[in-house]
Amino acid sequence: MATTTDTTATYEAFLDHVKRLHYVGDAGSVLQWDQQVMMPSGGTPARAKQSSALSTLHHELLTDDRLGEWLDELDDADLDPEQAAVVREVRRDHERAVRVPSDLVERISEASSNALPVWEEAKAEDDFAMFADTLEEMVELRREYAAAIDPDRDPYEVLFEEYEPYLGVDTAEEVLTTLRDELVGLIDDIADSDVTLANPFEGTYDDDTQQALVEDALSTLGYDWDHGRLDTAPHPFSTGTQFDARVTTRFKPDDPMDAVGSTIHEFGHATYTLGLPQEDYGTPLGEDRDLSVHESQSRFWENHVGRSRPFWDLFADTANDHLGTDASPRAFYEAANTVHPDNLIRVEADELTYHMHIILRFEIERDLIRGDLAVADVPDVWNEKMAEYLGVRPDTDAAGCLQDIHWTNGAIGYFPTYTLGSVLAAQLDHHVRADLGDVDALVRDGDFAPIHDWLTERVHRHGARYETDDLVREATGESFSADHFLAYADEKYRDLYDC
Amino acid sequence: MATTTDTTATYEAFLDHVKRLHYVGDAGSVLQWDQQVMMPSGGTPARAKQSSALSTLHHELLTDDRLGEWLDELDDADLDPEQAAVVREVRRDHERAVRVPSDLVERISEASSNALPVWEEAKAEDDFAMFADTLEEMVELRREYAAAIDPDRDPYEVLFEEYEPYLGVDTAEEVLTTLRDELVGLIDDIADSDVTLANPFEGTYDDDTQQALVEDALSTLGYDWDHGRLDTAPHPFSTGTQFDARVTTRFKPDDPMDAVGSTIHEFGHATYTLGLPQEDYGTPLGEDRDLSVHESQSRFWENHVGRSRPFWDLFADTANDHLGTDASPRAFYEAANTVHPDNLIRVEADELTYHMHIILRFEIERDLIRGDLAVADVPDVWNEKMAEYLGVRPDTDAAGCLQDIHWTNGAIGYFPTYTLGSVLAAQLDHHVRADLGDVDALVRDGDFAPIHDWLTERVHRHGARYETDDLVREATGESFSADHFLAYADEKYRDLYDC
């Protein structure tokens, strides 16, 4: 064991390096935000060079031999629990990065760039065959990537851990399978229900109207404009730091509820980021606990607040003022929760059927990576699963297996975190209510501070100190579980659809 | 001499490194643009870390031992003229950077940060004494900086070359002294003139009105919106690359001509950046030839186009439409060229008296650095020179020697490039007219392409290939000279003021 003085010096040098790595990564995020929100189209060639230079520097800092040496020294050192957590997180990232040959990183990056126009054309032409070789190449590259990290483990498990390092693919599979089996019956009953939910919207709503509406929604929920901003982007996202967490949204002329939901979703991501401890900026203690937990925060605010009846009791008047409508809180509530089992497109799915879209993708990508499914069979399998899970079969590949960009980017293993986040959101919601009492009254009164405080205290302030399940236990006193989500969904939707 | 194959390999490795250095610098510029234009106020602490990390990486890449070795190898190599120019420029930057100890770089950076609030308070309190020690420290640090780069040369010369590497401080001094001696008489005559120029503006003009006006001005002049954008910032600036060169402006409610002039000024900077060769992005061949040449492009468009009578023949109707005025082209022309000898503030000065403000600052900062002037004497010297050059004496330090931020930042040697740029703009204007014939007719017709083409062909496309005076010769066939500026100023203002 190193002496305390040595350890302190080593840990400080190590931490300086870690912070620098993090700052360079965050600088890259600023460039990406700018590219998607502000940059004129002609700027692409220069931006590609700038982003690539930062990304290479980040990789060099992460795989730096000195970092490996510091990690080895700190392995045997007497660290406090927070320091040990920092070392654990950095070691994980360092080890994954050094195991992947840089030529493979470059081949994946190049293949992604080349794949994008192929996917775009195949989707436009509605022809999966045009994309099949490209997908095959990406699957092979990702299998190679997984094998580089750990040749002895299930490659899908290794890829999944890129996005959700600690919950385990077995948990993911169990949760997703449970949801599939439980939700099919509920969705069937809704499809058979005679109930038609309200839709108070007619005609179109211009961008300025929707912008003012969602700004008010953000202010109502307590978004801190001194530490964030709202802009539009083709694909809404949130990015930033605990000092500056920005939200983007989009406006569909005939569907203002889409902008409201999407904005509140990204607000949820931003509140997580803003709740991370400022004093730990640049270290894992000031970083988010990966994608499932991040998505739990966005889904908490989107679904358990933004789609709740008390929220519309609070916000209906404001919404009517902006939209020129005269809808009741109940009508907004119904509009926000209408289920469309016949919808084919994931990003347009409701809160409930969304998960069937995810489960289908999870099963297909898992089987592709494990070699249990041939690329050529993807369209048929996709369409069969859609028929089985949602009772609707896509007529075209464009509305089927070509709809998402994720596999084109090589982001295989990402989809499950959407559903895991929703499941965790329901679990947190259950415990927020158990701890705070009449949460509906707080929402109805616009008194969101106790909810923000609960989430910050239980989740945000820990950063990445705990592994995911430990964080869930820290926050809720129980292990990660799908039970709360199933109970929530069953109660809410059987009531809405009288089924 | 190295073999050709060796040289090629060395040059390629060298150039990859140079490009990387440049991309990291440009990434830093994106962060700075964002900070000044988009970032919420709370983002400052994180942005400071990110910018500092990029700046340190940039410094490490610039002072890298390998870069020194490549430069040594390429010294003896058989390079073509463009390669030799790249090596010359990079060597200059590398050598200056390695000579300055990193602790001095840090001390200057820290002193600048600490100086800012002191200067702000001294200015607010109108008390130079509060700022004197801070200025003294900055002067000492800059003397130390100059001595580190070259202990055997005039320290002011060394500092001046930070901003204008090749024209030489002797040329600057000669030009500034000539302007001082020649313009004093003209300004006196204007002050004594009975002529009052038109001011067609009454009341206030809101931001949206002025925004629409300056957007139309940019479109009229041919700004390429696919490669740029316009935003507002407290201190207007332009930044970017040949792929994405952005402009910022500001709006004063009672003075729409300020926004027009300021926007066209920044447009001039952006046209230079956009005219740099795209294929050389990331190397000195794709970089600007420093501040005097950059300022010549902004001043060309601001003064020789935007303040010209034919421009207002073209643009008066549009301006009247936006502003709700009914002014003649002549009235706009007069308003754009009104001389205010009694104005005390540099950034509010007209085209003519502006240079007296610069000359005064040049003389004071030169004497401070050379040890010929004590910091304590700055306010008196400032006020005496104002009286001598412009016939007006500031009542306060806030409106005198505390008005500018430059010395607080340690930017000593920067001011002269403003005047050198204006002088070069007039020289270029003379030769544009000699080559293109009836330039007034082109401007009146809104046919700016031939002017853009001339400037791109003669100036922009060369990047930093030539040293400044060689570039001026390449562009105009003659050496850098103040004659054209003096003739232009005399003719224009004696005509306007009938004196």
A151-177 pLDDT tens trace = 999 999 999 999 999 999 999 999 999
Mean pLDDT, chain A, whole residue set: 96
Q: Looking at A266, A302, A334, A363, which residue is catalytic? A: A266
Q: What is the pLDDT of residue A2?
A: 47
Supply the pLDDT for residue B124.
95
Q: In chain A, what residues touch B242 (CB-CB under 8 Å)?
A: 46
Q: At B6, is the pLDDT very low, low, confident or very high (cuts 50, 70, 90)?
A: confident
Q: What is the mean pLDDT of residues A289-307?
A: 98
- Which of A231, A243, A274, A276 to mutate against chain B (most B CBs within 10 Å)? A243
**B143-159: average pLDDT:** 98
> Is the Cβ pair A43, B227 closer than 8 Å?
yes
- Say if B54 is an interface residue toward chain A (CB within 8 Å): yes
A contact residues 172-231, partner B, Cβ 8 Å cutoff: 224-229
| pLDDT on residue B77 | 85
Percent of chain B with pLDDT over 90: 95
pLDDT in tens, B338-391: 999 999 999 999 999 999 999 999 999 999 999 999 999 999 999 999 999 999
Q: pLDDT value at position B76?
A: 80
Q: Which residues from chain A sit within 8 angstroms of residue B243, using beta carbons?
A: 42-47
Chain B contacts in chain A segment 470-499 (CB below 8 A): none
Residue of B nearest to A281 (CA): B46
pLDDT digit string, tens, across residues A72-129: 999 888 899 999 999 999 999 999 999 999 899 989 988 998 999 999 999 999 999 9
> B281 and chain A: CB distance < 8 Å anywhere?
yes
Over 70: is that where the pLDDT of A3 sits? no
Q: Is A227 in Cβ contact with B46 (below 8 Å)?
A: no
Above 70 in pLDDT, residue B215? yes
Q: In the prediction, which pLDDT does A205 show? A: 97
B36-58 pLDDT, tens digit each: 999 999 999 999 999 999 999 99
- The ranges assigned to domains in chain B are 1-99, 138-499
- The shortest CB-CB distance from A243 to any of B31, B38, B43 is to B43
Look at B23 and A243 and tell me if their CB atoms are within 8 Å: no
B138-499 CATH pick, 1.10.1370.30, 3.40.50.720, 3.40.640.10, 2.60.260.20? 1.10.1370.30
Is the CB of B38 inside 8 Å of chain A's CB atoms? Answer: yes
pLDDT digits (tens, 9 = 90+) for A169-214: 999 999 999 999 999 999 999 999 999 999 999 889 999 999 999 9
Residue A234: per-residue pLDDT: 87
Nearest chain A Cα to B56, which residue?
A20
Selected from 2.30.30.90, 1.10.1370.30, 3.40.50.720, 1.10.630.10, the CATH number assigned to the domain covering A135-499 reads 1.10.1370.30
**What is the pLDDT, as a whole number, of residue B1?**
46
Concerning whether B266 is annotated as a catalytic residue, the answer is yes
Say how many CB pairs under 8 Å bridge A and B: 115
Is some CB atom of chain B closer than 8 A to the CB atom of A397? no
pLDDT of B204 reads 96
**Exactly one of B164, B266, B295, B351 is catalytic; which is it?**
B266
pLDDT at B5 over 80: no
pLDDT band at B3 (very low <50, low <70, confident <90, very high): low
Residue-level pLDDT at B213? 98
Is the pLDDT at B472 greater than 70, yes or no? yes
Comparing alpha-carbon positions, the chain A residue that sits nearest to B227 is: A42
Q: What's the rounded mean pLDDT across residues A34-38? A: 95
Give B-chain residues touching A27 at CB under 8 angstroms: 27-28, 31, 50-51, 53-54
Q: Over chain A, what HEC string results?
A: CCCHHHHHHHHHHHHHHHHHHHHHHHHHHHHHHHHHHCCCHHHHHHHHHHHHHHHHHHHHHHCCHHHHHHHHHHHCCCCCHHHHHHHHHHHHHHHHHHHCCHHHHHHHHHHHHHHHHHHHHHHHHCCCHHHHHHHHHHHHHHHHHHHHHCCCCCHHHHHHHHHCCCCCHHHHHHHHHHHHHHHHHHHHHHHHCCCCCCCCCCCCCCHHHHHHHHHHHHHHHCCCHHHCCEEECCCCCEEEECCEEEEEECCCCCCHHHHHHHHHHHHHHHHHHHHCCHHHCCCHHHCCCHHHHHHHHHHHHHHHHCCCHHHHHHHHHHHHHHHCCCCCHHHHHHHHCCCCCCCCCHHHCCCCCHHHHHHHHHHHHHHHHHCCCCHHHHHHHHHHHHHHHHCCCCCCCCCCCCCCCCCCCCCCCCCHHHHHHHHHHHHHHHHHHHHHCCHHHHHHCCCCHHHHHHHHHHCHHHCCCCCHHHHHHHHHCCCCCCHHHHHHHHHHHHHHHCC
B26·A224 Cβ contact <8 A: no
Chain B within 8 Å of A44 (Cβ-Cβ)?
Answer: yes
In this prediction the ipTM stands at 0.95
pLDDT > 50? residue B189 = yes
Contact across the interface for B49 and A229, Cβ inside 8 Å: no
Binary contact (A224, B42; C-beta < 8 A)? yes
